[in-house]
Chain A
Amino acid sequence: MNDSAPEAIADAPGGVVWALRDAANEATRHLRAVPRSPELLVFSALQPIMFVVLFRYVFGGSIEIPGMSYAQYLVPGIFAQTVLFGSAFTGVGIAEDMSKGFVDRLRSLPISPAAVLLGRTFSDLVRNILTFVIMLGVAFLVDFRFQGGLVRGLAATALLLAFSYSFSWIQALIGLSVKSVEAANSAGFIWMFPLTFVSSAFVQTDKMVSAFRWFAEINPFTIVTNASRALYSGTDPGDTVWQSLLWALGITVVFSTLSVRKFLATSN
């Protein structure tokens, strides 16, 4: 069979190590673009900054939170919402690569299919961290503090990022399933508004209408917001930390499996 081949061709090696290297190369592709359009980062931080200012200074005067300043209550909620919205980059980016034929190019290369999605979600995590740094600066300006100390503050931040990373996989599935970048944008964002607003992020859940209150209290977004808020403020998070981690892990496992399967099956 091979005697007529022009030269011996080594088959590309596979395995986990190569898959991780492929993912790193793919992540580098996206991260190279970040410093080339810094305005994208600024814009993704702009909306949460506006929210901080609006809620803190416009609504904040009418909102009483027992035992805590409104800034201290609000900022973890805005952080949580920001990183969650940041996950939508994943879906939009994938839809863009699909519409431009780049996904076809990647699928015709001898690389691990999981690596493409892994690289994408990882680069969006890094982008989310950069947005977070900008947000943190603004939060300190409105008198938000790591009242629980630096270690708990960092733990709270890591928890939020882990949660948003799991949502990147939901967005990946959306990006792979829709037919255009615009659709990925709408489909990626629309459900995140009720998810983040019907929660404990902006106000306490106990004064909500009963149906909303019921949803707000089982909402994983409420759980992760409460967990990070407790850690930032130095109060007892109760069961919320491990519950948040469980949610993040569950969502990651389910949606990464579905996304990789979808990626392999695209147009098959």
Chain B
Amino acid sequence: MPLVEVSGLTRSFGDTNALAGLDFEVERGTVLGMLGPNGAGKTTAVRILTTLLRPNAGTALIDGINVATEPRRIRTRIGLTGQYAAVDERLTARENLQLIGRFFRMNKADSRERAAELLAKFRLEEAGDRVVSGFSGGMRRRLDISMSLVARPIVLFLDEPTTGLDPRSRMEMWDLIDELTADGMTTLLTTQYLDEADRLADQILVIDHGRGIATGTADELKDRVGGARVSFDVGDAAPEAVLAGIGELRSALGEPFTADGAFVVPVRPGTTAPQVMRSLMSAGIDVVDFELQRPTLDDVFLTLTGRPAEEVVADE
């Protein structure tokens, strides 16, 4: 039985349908990546599953417990890390963690022990007794996630965990989430980035206007989108010469087209960009610029809906 089962979830705010019949499941010990643009309904779904919002229709079960009718039982079983690092800046990291422990009815000794454990696990030991207002964005996020884990939840919700982080903190956050999920944590994460969902999720659910429009593994989705592309600038070389240069690789590539004066060729799985590069060079074509383009959220949307991902401003 899946740990999280959602069916027909509907929620509107005024005239806006934030969720219009969302269905999905999350199996135990797996990561579901919910992928969609701003306003697609990701945060609304997370808020309903974490008891912060009631659905208008549909059901959401976590471990068989109905989220809408037994919110209190749900709250002892979940961990939530929202879009903003919800930490108390006036307290130390340790005090933040102990506070959550106390709220989960741990006694003083247990909450202290659990706080120390989490500080160590999240590499916050040294900073543990410093006031959080001096923390970097990455440290805040680490503390935020560790606060969600105090009571050992059975499912963790991460709502856009890397939004607003610099590239280095983003990588660190990915590693951290990897570690958690390697321990078997069932996780639902939302993201606007295909590469993030690709990197972290076992299953990806693409959502648009409050509805799931595709689901599958990252590879399955990328196959539908057409995978990566190479784009190269060949200066004055004639298109025929370029096609000839690609030569025997032609069959492993998609239909080439030109965009912004550059040749763009889709690459099918099994073919690598360096192979394309090599065949061009051995044909004597002067490659000025060469770039590997990975599919983005926009490509996914373009393929699935025939239009790019669009932001819906009114979320809630």
Interface residues, chain A, CB within 8 Å of chain B? 1-2, 4-6, 9-14, 18, 21-22, 25, 28-29, 32-33, 36-37, 100-102, 104-111, 267-268
Contacts and interface: CB of A to CB of B under 8 A. Distances in A.
B91 A109 contact: no
Contact of A11 (B52, B53, B73, B103): B73
Nearest to A14: B72
A4 B2 CA distance: 10
Contacts of A21: 102
Given A4-B1, A9-B77, A11-B76, A109 B104 contact: yes
Contact of B104 (A12, A37, A267): A12
A29 B95 CA distance: 8
B123 interface: no
A53 B102 CA distance: 46
A32, A37, A101, A268 pick with most chain B CB within 10 angstroms: A101
B97 interface: no
A37 B105 CA distance: 29
Nearest to B72: A110
B104 A105 contact: no
Contact of B80 (A6, A33, A104, A267): A104
Contact of A105 (B72, B86, B316): B86
A10 B106 CA distance: 12
B82 A109 contact: no
Contacts of A109: 75, 100, 103-104
A108 B73 CA distance: 11
A33 B91 contact: yes
Contacts of A29: 88, 91, 95, 99
A25 B103 contact: yes
Interface in B43-102: 47, 50-54, 63-64, 72-73, 75-78, 80, 82-91, 95, 99-100, 102
B217 to A, nearest CB: 24
The B interface, classified by DSSP as helix, strand, loop or mixed, is loop
B124 interface: no
A101 B86 contact: yes
A100 B91 CA distance: 14
A101 B52 contact: no
Given A5-B63, A6-B154, A25-B102, A267 B47 contact: yes
Contacts of B85: 101
Contacts of B80: 104-105, 108
Nearest to B1: A4
A111 B103 contact: yes
11 contacts: A1-B64, A4-B63, A5-B154, A9-B77, A9-B154, A10-B76, A12-B105, A14-B72, A29-B91, A102-B86, A104-B52
A82 B19 CA distance: 48
A106 B103 CA distance: 9
B147 interface: yes
B88 A104 contact: no
B interface, size bucket: 35 or more
Contacts of B77: 9
Contacts of B225: none
Interface string B10-41: 00000000000000000010000000000000
A104 B79 CA distance: 12
A109 B102 CA distance: 11
B75 A110 contact: yes
A108 B50 contact: yes
Contacts of B100: 109
Contacts of B63: 1-2, 4-5
Contacts of B84: 100-101
Given A32-B95, A100-B84, A100-B86, 13 more contacts: A9-B77, A10-B76, A29-B99, A36-B131, A101-B82, A101-B83, A101-B84, A101-B86, A104-B47, A105-B147, A108-B50, A108-B78, A268-B53
Contact of A12 (B72, B91, B154): B72
A178 B1 CA distance: 43
Query: 7 tightest CB-CB pairs across the interface, nearest first?
Result: A33-B90, A101-B86, A101-B84, A105-B86, A110-B75, A1-B64, A108-B80
B51, B87, B89, B102 pick with most chain A CB within 10 angstroms: B102
A105 B100 CA distance: 10
A12 B75 contact: yes
A5 B155 CA distance: 12
Contacts of B147: 105
Contacts of B28: 4, 6
A2 to B, nearest CB: 7
A28 B64 CA distance: 36
A2 B61 CA distance: 13
A110 B76 contact: yes
Contacts of B75: 12, 108-110
Nearest to A116: B103
A168 B121 CA distance: 40
A267 B73 CA distance: 21
